[in-house]
Amino acid sequence: MKNKIYHIAIIMDGNRRWAEKRGKPKIIGHKYGVLSLKKIINFAINYKLNILTLYAFSIENWSRPFLEVIGLMRLFIFSIKNVMYELHEKNVCVNIIGNKDKLPKKLVFYIKKIEFLTKNNKGLKLNIAINYSGKWDFICCVKKISYQVKNKLININQINENIVNQNLCLNHLPDIDLLIRTGGEKRISNFFLWKIAYTELFFTNILWPDFSCNDFLKILNDFLKRKRRFGGNISL
C-alpha cells in the first residue's frame, strides 16, 4: 500500500555553518535560513501537505552566544510580523509550541497574534517549535497527569498511551510520518520524542539555507517508496 504523508517535521540545521563557510556573521546564516523556510512553507501549501512541524529553537540553544540568541529573537519577531497576514490569506493555521515563559514579551505578543489570526484556518497546519525540547514536553506531561490523579480526575490505572498523548504538545495531531534533518548531523536532538516512535527518518548533508523545494520533493518521493511496518509485517 502506498504511504500517505500527513505529518512532516524538519530539524532546520546548518545555518551557522553556512555563514561560517562564507566568512559571514552567524545571524546572516539564520536570515538566509528564513528565506529557505518561506520557500518550503509555500511548497507545502502548493503540495497540499496536511501538517508541517519545524524545529526553530531548542531549550538547549540558550547556551549559544548572547548576541546570537538576541539576534534570533529579533529575527523571530520580524519574521512573524512580516508573514502573518500572508499565511492567513493562504489559509495556514499557525501554532507556536514550546515554553513561552522565557521568551521576550514582544515575541510572545506576536505569537499570540498570529495564532489568534489563523486559528480557524483549514489549510496547512504549521507548527513552529521555539524554546522546545522533547524532555521538557514529557516533564510537563507528567505534571499534568499527576495533577489529574491527585485531584481524582482520573484513576492511576487509566493512564495509557492515549492519556499521555493528550497531555503533550501537538496532542490533537497525528504522529510524525517523516522527520527530515538538514546539515549532515544524524541525531534527533531532543525533538518530538513521543511523536516519532515509528517515524521515517531522513538525514541530508545539505545545509538549511541551501535546502531547496526540489530537495524536499526528492525526500518526499523517497518516503513514498519506503515500506512502513510499524513493528509488524504489513506496510500501512
Question: What residues are annotated to the active site?
Answer: 13, 61
Residue 132 Cα distances to 100, 103, 160, 184, angstroms: 9, 11, 24, 21
Q: Is 34 left (phi over 0), alpha (psi -120 to 50) or beta?
A: alpha
Compute the distance between CA of residue 82 and CA of residue 87 in angstroms, rounded to an integer. 10
Tell me, letter by letter, the H, E, C secondary structure of 191-227.
Answer: CCCCCCCCCEEEECCCCHHHCCHHHHHHHHHHHHHCC
Element containing residue 186 per DSSP (H, E): none
CA angle 222–132–212, rounded 5-degree value: 35
Contact 118, 88 (CB under 8 A): yes
Instruction: Report the C-alpha gap between 151 and 27 in whole angstroms.
Output: 47
Cα separation, 148 vs 92, in Å, equals 33
In the 8-state DSSP scheme, what is residue 230? T
How many Å apart are CA 12 and CA 199, to the nearest integer? 17
List the grid coordinates of 187.
Answer: 541525531
